[in-house]
Amino acid sequence: MRRRRVTYRPSKAQGAFGMVWGGIFVLIGLVVVIPTFGPFGILWTLMAVGITVMNGLHAFGKKYVGPEIRIEDEEGYGEESRPYEGNVPSSPAPETHDHIPSTALDAKDRLEQLKSLKEAGLLTQEEYDQKRKQILDQL
């Protein structure tokens, strides 16, 4: 069984960028929105201050404070034996055979796919013959 854990946190650059824009919105709130809209302007400015402070903590704080995304998955269970865990089971990764994507597991399906590509005009006769020979040689 293999476990994989991915954690995403906003970068310091994202925090600094958000802090700059938050500061701009605080200034807009103080200069324009409070004098024009009164109580709404105060709410606007307080929210902008909160955004600026959170982004400042992301950018310059010693300990991370804020949202983080964690993705954990486990491998090693068959699709039939794994209970439903609120996610959609993923299909196997497509195999690539010289620029021909394929999820086929056997030679018969690969040959049928190759034939359909030839009939669609996506392969020349020479390319078709070469790939067909490769598939048959793998048997």
pLDDT at 93 over 60: no
Condensed to tens digits (0 to 9), the pLDDT of residues 2-36 reads: 566 666 677 888 889 999 999 999 999 999 999 99
**Are the beta carbons of 42 and 50 closer than 8 angstroms?**
no
Containing H/E element for 46?
Answer: helix 39-60
Count Cβ atoms within 10 A of the Cβ of residue 121 and give its class: 0-12 exposed, 13-18 middle, 19 or more buried. exposed
Confidence of residue 51 (pLDDT cuts 50, 70, 90): very high
